[in-house]
Amino acid sequence: MRGGIRFGSGIAALVFALLFAASQSAAEWKVYVQGGLGISGADVETSGRAGSAPVTRLNGMDTDSSPLLDGAVGLEVPMDELVPRELLLKVRLPDWPVRLELEAAGLREWEFSTVAGGEDFFTEINATTVLINSWVDVPLLAIYQPFQYLFGLGRQPNVRRWMEPLSLYIGSGIGLTAQMDIDGTSNVVSAQDDIVDFAWNVGAGFNYEFTERMRLSVGYRYVGLGEPEIDTRGPFAPGASDKVDYTLDVHELRVAVRIRVFEFPSPWR
């Protein structure tokens, strides 16, 4: 009797282990969290006017940089698992990871100095963005292999071993400036507003796989924050076009750590 119980327990344990291993091997879709730091550099061009007697012109260009802090949660899916394979017919897609993520980035605080009627016009801009991004991770080996075969370089195991943890990522995203505070002032002119506007980004960089669950990414992106337009105020006779336009070009260098927190089988299987 005891032998039967032990045998049954062993069978149950074996079945459980096989099911667990099968579920692990079938896990294709991965949920991750990411945190990053960086430098956000901005070029600003101002153009506008204030008052009518006389008219004060606001114009000029300046640059500034600021720390950047971002966080994201995302889903990583092999490219060939994005849609049911039955819909792909005979098209065979690579299994490169495609990442869809929701990202919030802030801590940006730029200070600019332009001109308002011969005086310095100082502007402080704080911007926080919320973006939905899509990235594709292309293994470096996939880029290297065509050159390897074309030039007859052989297997080169040491080179392949060095490249294996590395991948190139490229992608873009859209969203909005959840918070953009603009505060501009000179001795006679001021302009303040809190703006919510369309935002977008496009970027590229490299990933390094430390472990199966943790990756480091280093990259560049361009962030488009629109062209905010705000009213100008001051102790002057108001004019018909008392506004100042800001044209922002934002360039960011970022370092981020991505950690896989959960995985599950593809729903198409």
Question: Alpha carbon of 104 to those of 73, 100, 244, 248: distances in Å?
Answer: 9, 14, 28, 19
Q: What value does the mean pLDDT of the chain take?
A: 84
Task: Give the per-residue pLDDT at 96.
Answer: 92
Of 131-135, 203-207, 208-212, the least confident: 208-212
Q: Report which DSSP code applies to 80.
A: G
CB of 191 closer than 8 Å to CB of 182? yes
Distance of CA 60 to the CA centre of its chain: 30
pLDDT in tens, 69-128: 999 999 999 988 887 766 666 777 888 999 999 999 999 999 999 888 778 889 999 999
Is 223 exposed, middle or buried, given 0-12, 13-18 or 19+ CB atoms closer than 10 A? Answer: buried
CB of 67 closer than 8 Å to CB of 40? yes
Which residue type sits at 210?
F
Nearest Cα to Cα of residue 246 among 47, 8, 32, 4 = 47
Residue 23 makes CB contacts below 8 A (sequence gap 6+) with 265
Q: How confident is the model at residue 28 (pLDDT cuts 50, 70, 90)?
A: confident
CB of 123 closer than 8 Å to CB of 112? yes
For residue 266, which phi and psi values (nearest 5 degrees)?
A: -60, 135
CA distance 172 to 157: 34
CA distance 81 to 119: 60
Domains in the chain: ranges and CATH: 29-263 (2.40.160.20)
CB of 64 closer than 8 Å to CB of 112? yes
* pTM greater than 0.85: no
CA atoms within 13 A on the CB side of 69: 4
CA distance 133 to 202: 9
CB of 50 closer than 8 Å to CB of 232? yes
Confidence check: pLDDT of 18 > 50:
no
Task: Give the per-residue pLDDT at 155.
Answer: 67
pLDDT in tens, 126-156: 999 999 999 999 999 888 777 666 766 666 7
Of 4-13, 111-120, 124-133, 228-237, the least confident: 4-13
